[in-house]
């Protein structure tokens, strides 16, 4: 279980970092059909998780800290624009996978669908196996649809505990090939720092201009309860009522949204609050199945959608009535999100004060956030509070 949670957290971190500039070049769209904005900053993150039998603690951390990692990019900007985050997820080292493919599986390609990432993290199971780091890095670097723009941030996070040298693919060659494509490789060794160095985890990061980090993957995540947490969590649930599913995948996606709320609530109090914060930010975009996001992104004309593809409450409405209905939900969502952002500002100050009183070894979430901020800074990203979203930001008809 713990290893699966670690994986989820890592994925979330990646998603948050990458959700910025998918449209600056020809990028793969998310599984829910997100529409890209031209010249928008893009962050692409691939998370490669060791799911062998000894890594349950890693997965637990991932599940608990996923949304916290994503939220690092709520206030990230480059050139005054907020980025788009795309996250991909791989597992490796699991004997339940095929030997001929190196016990490696691409779980989710680069996507902005954070609920899908969360769903897959909670589905991960550990099983003993051989961990081929060089091979899984090669798969991610070659098979994912990375941006071709040198301005975009492209990073791999690989986490595990066995020697980096295992397998038929030379890690030195695959790490050099990744950085030649502008992809940084960050290595996270689950264990002691010197053990990771001896196992060549640091060498892999050095070859690919990344960071070498070590974590205690069995450490329990400490949740600092803040006075604002209860209301933030309650609003997170209320936000679901502003979503209007449409199309063939709409109902399935809405059910997934509710399921990931439930998964977060079972993971930890921190996961619930952090997920609610994500849902109140620009990082949580569902234009592929939600009419509010789709109309805002100008990816659909609500008046042209067939009645059978709309929520029951909207069937039989005129095009004008449909748009007005979407605008009402958009206004309601904006007001709820603005309230969460105000609460989050107060919460952030409280958490900073309480965190300063504590010390401890790094977890997956803290390691990822440390590396991603540094690497994003080199791509001219700044991490300053953005203006609170307008509660009256309504959609307009397509021309």
Q: What is the CATH number of the domain that holds 89?
A: 3.40.50.410
Residue 300 belongs to some domain of the structure: yes
What CA–CA distance (Å, rounded) separates 362 from 211?
14
Residue 313 belongs to some domain of the structure: yes
Domain that holds residue 334: 229-355
Q: Are residues 276 and 378 in the same domain?
A: no
Q: Are residues 321 and 269 in the same domain?
A: yes
What CA–CA distance (Å, rounded) separates 27 from 257?
24
Give pLDDT, residue 244: 98
Q: Output b/e per residue, 175-184; b: 16+ Cβ within 10 A.
A: bebbbeebbb
Give pLDDT, residue 183: 97
Give pLDDT, residue 220: 54
Q: Are residues 271 and 197 in the same domain?
A: no
Q: Are residues 113 and 139 in the same domain?
A: yes
Residue 94 belongs to some domain of the structure: yes
HSE, CB side, 13 Å, CA atoms: give it for residue 64: 25
Q: Are residues 61 and 115 in the same domain?
A: yes
Q: Residue 49: which of 98, 150, 117 has the closest Cα?
A: 117
Q: Are residues 29 and 98 in the same domain?
A: yes
Q: What is the tally of structural domains in the chain?
A: 2
Residue 396 belongs to some domain of the structure: no
For residue 176, the surrounding DSSP H or E stretch is: helix 171-180
Residue 390 belongs to some domain of the structure: no
- CB within 8 Å of 235: residues ≥ 6 apart: 276, 280, 336, 339, 340, 343
Strands of the sheet with 104-111, listed across from one edge: 104-111, 84-92, 42-50, 153-160, 184-190, 212-215
CA distance between the termini of the chain:
50
- Across the chain, the runs of DSSP E, i.e. the strands, are 42-50, 76-77, 84-92, 104-111, 153-160, 184-190, 212-215, 382-383
What CA–CA distance (Å, rounded) separates 85 from 155?
12
Q: Are residues 233 and 377 in the same domain?
A: no
Q: Are residues 366 and 350 in the same domain?
A: no
Give pLDDT, residue 57: 77
Q: Are residues 248 and 366 in the same domain?
A: no
Q: Are residues 346 and 367 in the same domain?
A: no
Residue 152 belongs to some domain of the structure: yes
Residue 393 belongs to some domain of the structure: no
Give pLDDT, residue 34: 42
Give pLDDT, residue 229: 94
Q: Are residues 141 and 7 in the same domain?
A: yes
Kindly tell me the number of DSSP H helices and DSSP E strands found in the chain.
Answer: 13, 8
pLDDT along the chain (399 residues), means of 10: 46 41 34 53 92 79 72 82 91 92 95 91 86 97 96 94 94 97 94 92 96 74 80 96 96 96 88 92 92 95 94 95 97 97 90 70 72 90 57 37
Q: Are residues 210 and 242 in the same domain?
A: no
Token pair for 21? 């500039």
Give pLDDT, residue 12: 44
Give the global pTM.
Answer: 0.76
Give pLDDT, residue 390: 35
Residue 399 belongs to some domain of the structure: no
Using an 8 Å Cβ cutoff, are 270 and 57 in contact? no
């Amino acid at each position: 279980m713990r290893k699966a949670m670690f994986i989820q957290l890592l994925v979330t971190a990646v998603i948050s970092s990458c959700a910025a500039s998918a449209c600056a070049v020809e990028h793969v769209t998310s599984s829910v059909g997100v529409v890209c904005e031209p010249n928008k900053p893009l962050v692409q993150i691939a998370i490669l998780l060791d799911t062998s039998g000894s890594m349950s603690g890693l997965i637990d951390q991932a599940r608990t800290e996923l949304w916290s990692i994503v939220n690092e990019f709520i206030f990230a900007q480059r050139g005054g624009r907020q980025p788009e985050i795309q996250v991909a997820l791989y597992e490796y080292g699991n004997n339940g996978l095929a030997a001929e493919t190196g016990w490696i599986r691409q779980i989710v390609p680069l996507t902005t669908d954070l609920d899908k990432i969360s769903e897959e993290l909670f589905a991960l199971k550990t099983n003993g196996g051989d961990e081929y780091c060089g091979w899984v890095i090669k798969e991610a670097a070659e098979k994912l649809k990375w941006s071709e723009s040198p301005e975009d941030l492209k990073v791999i996070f690989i986490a595990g505990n066995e020697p980096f040298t295992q397998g038929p693919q030379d890690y030195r060659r695959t790490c050099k090939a990744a950085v030649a494509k502008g992809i940084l490789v960050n290595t996270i060794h689950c264990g002691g720092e010197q053990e990771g160095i001896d196992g060549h985890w640091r060498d892999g990061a050095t070859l690919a201009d990344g960071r070498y980090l070590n974590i205690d993957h069995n450490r329990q995540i400490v949740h600092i309860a803040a006075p604002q947490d209860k209301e933030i969590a309650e609003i997170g649930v209320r936000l679901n009522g502003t979503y209007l599913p449409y199309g063939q995948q709409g109902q399935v996606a809405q059910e997934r949204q509710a399921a990931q709320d439930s998964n977060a609530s079972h993971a930890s109090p921190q996961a619930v609050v952090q997920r609610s914060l994500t849902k109140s930010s620009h990082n949580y975009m569902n234009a592929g199945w939600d009419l509010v996001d789709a109309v805002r992104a100008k990816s659909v004309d609500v008046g042209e959608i067939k009645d059978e593809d709309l929520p029951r409450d909207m069937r039989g409405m005129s095009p004008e009535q449909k748009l007005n209905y979407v605008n009402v939900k958009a206004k309601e969502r904006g007001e709820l999100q603005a309230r969460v952002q105000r609460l989050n500002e107060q919460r952030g100050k409280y958490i900073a004060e309480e965190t300063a009183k504590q010390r401890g070894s790094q977890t997956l979430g803290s390691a990822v956030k440390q590396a991603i901020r540094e690497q994003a800074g080199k791509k001219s990203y700044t991490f300053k509070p953005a203006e609170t979203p307008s509660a009256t930001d309504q959609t307009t008809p397509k021309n």
